[in-house]
Amino acid sequence: MAKGVNKLSEEEIELVRKSSLLVGKTLAEVARMITPGVTTGALDRMAEEYIRDNGGIPGFKGLYGCPSTLLISVNEQVVHGLPGDRALKDGDVASVDCGVLMNEFYGDSAYTFQVGEVAPEVRTLLSVTKECLALGIEQAVANQRTGDIGYAIQHHAEAHGYGIVRELVGHGVGRKLHEAPEVPNYGRRGHGVRLNEGMVIAIEPMVNMGVKEVSQLDDGWTVVSRDSKPSAHFEHTVAVRAGKAEVLSTFSYIEDVLKERGMAVA
C-alpha cells in the first residue's frame, strides 16, 4: 500500500458511514429550505444546529480556519464558497459541501442544487457531473488505481465539452477529513496510487461548463471558473472493495425531499 495511505477496519468503515449518513441527512435539510430568497448564511446556521442536535460536530468549521459548517458555491463558484448574506435567486445552482465528525471519524459529501427554474444547458451540466461521479465510483475497486477513477471522470466530462478542474481533488477520509491518497478528477488508466480493499476515499468531480481553469477570490476560499460559466460538484465517500465499491454516503435523503417538494433532481 502506498506510503501514508490508511486502510480502515470494518468497524472504522462503519463509523465513517454513520458520519456520512448524517451529512446526507443534513443536506436533506438544506433541500427542505433551499428556495429563491433564502440566504446562504441561513442554510449554514440551520446545518450547524442540525448536525449538533444529532450528535455530530461540523467537520469543516474551524478546520484550516474555515468559518462555516457548509461551503456553498453558487453558479460560477466551483467550491469553497463562504455562506453569508447572499440570497439565492431563481435559476441559480448551488453546490453545498458538508462534512461531519462523529465518533472520531469524518464523513464528507456534496450535492449541487437547482434553485427554481434552471436553464436546460445548466441542468445538463449537473446531470453529466453526477454521471461522472458514478463512473468514477465504478473504478474504486481493489487493484485499480487513482488514475482509473480520474480517467473515467475526465473522459465523460470532456466528451460533453466540459472542463475538468485540475487544482482540486478528492482525497482519503478517516480520522482526518483529508488523508492520502489524493484522487484527481483526471488521469491516465493504470497510473496513480493503487487502490486496496479497506481504503476510504472521497470522489468529487468538479466540472465547469466552459474552461477548466479556475481562480481564487480575495476571500482566500472561494474558487471560481476563469470564464465565469457555471460549475457543478457532486461528492460521495466510498469504501474500496474487491468487487464493487461501497458508497458510504447517500443522496437518497436529499432526493426524497426534492421529489416531495416537486423540485428538480439532477
Cα gap 177→230, rounded to integer Å: 27
Domain ranges of the chain: 10-260
219 secondary structure, DSSP code: T
Cα gap 12→166, rounded to integer Å: 30
Q: What is the pTM of this model?
A: 0.97
The CATH code for residues 10-260 is 3.90.230.10
Q: What mean pLDDT is predicted for residues 240-260?
A: 97
Q: How confident is the model at residue 4 (pLDDT cuts 50, 70, 90)?
A: low
Cα gap 211→142, rounded to integer Å: 33
Cα gap 103→96, rounded to integer Å: 23
> Which position has the grid cell 441561513?
42
CB atoms near residue 163 (< 10 Å): 22
The pLDDT value recorded for residue 1 is: 57
Among candidate residues 250, 257, 174, the one with its CA nearest the CA of residue 5? 174
pLDDT over 70 (residue 194): yes
Q: What mean pLDDT is predicted for residues 11-16?
A: 98
Q: How confident is the model at residue 2 (pLDDT cuts 50, 70, 90)?
A: low
Q: How confident is the model at residue 38 (pLDDT cuts 50, 70, 90)?
A: very high
Cα gap 90→239, rounded to integer Å: 37
Q: For residue 225, is it left (φ>0), alpha (ψ between -120 and 50) or beta?
A: beta
Cα gap 210→204, rounded to integer Å: 18
Q: What percent of the chain has pLDDT over 70?
A: 98
